[in-house]
Amino acid sequence: MGWFSKTDSNFFLSTVTPGIEADQGPKVASYLGIVNGEAVIGANIFRDMFASVRDVVGGRAGGYERALSGARDAAIQDMVEAAREMGATGVIGVDIDYAVLGEANGMMLVAASGTAVKMA
């Protein structure tokens, strides 16, 4: 399993594809196709104001971190739901990307993608 491998009772998520090393790890019964999920968050004035203070005095921008964490979780959940709609029991090769959107860079996109699979 990869550095990001997670299972719940009925679903498998992994950043790596199983079976790279012969006879190791979980097995894929069938590949169903690419799935993705996206979440866009906007930066509000209060979060921006406190982040600019952090830029001056140093430290972490907790509000931004919590917002990004929530957006990442939402993107992954959307991807998992899309996979389940295809009849998948897992998603492998999961990739999470971040991008700044908008003219004033006031929005952040979090996108999760991977290959929906039925695990053996």
Full pLDDT tens readout for the chain, 120 residues: 333 445 556 788 888 776 655 566 678 899 999 999 999 887 654 455 455 555 555 556 666 777 888 899 999 999 999 999 999 999 999 999 998 887 666 788 999 999 999 988
Write down the domain spans for the chain: 5-119
Residues facing residue 119 across a β-bridge: 28
As given in the structure block, the two tokens for residue 80 are 């998992």
At residue 5, the pLDDT reads 46
At residue 64, the pLDDT reads 73
CATH superfamily assigned to domain 5-119: Hypothetical protein apc22750. Chain B (3.30.110.70)
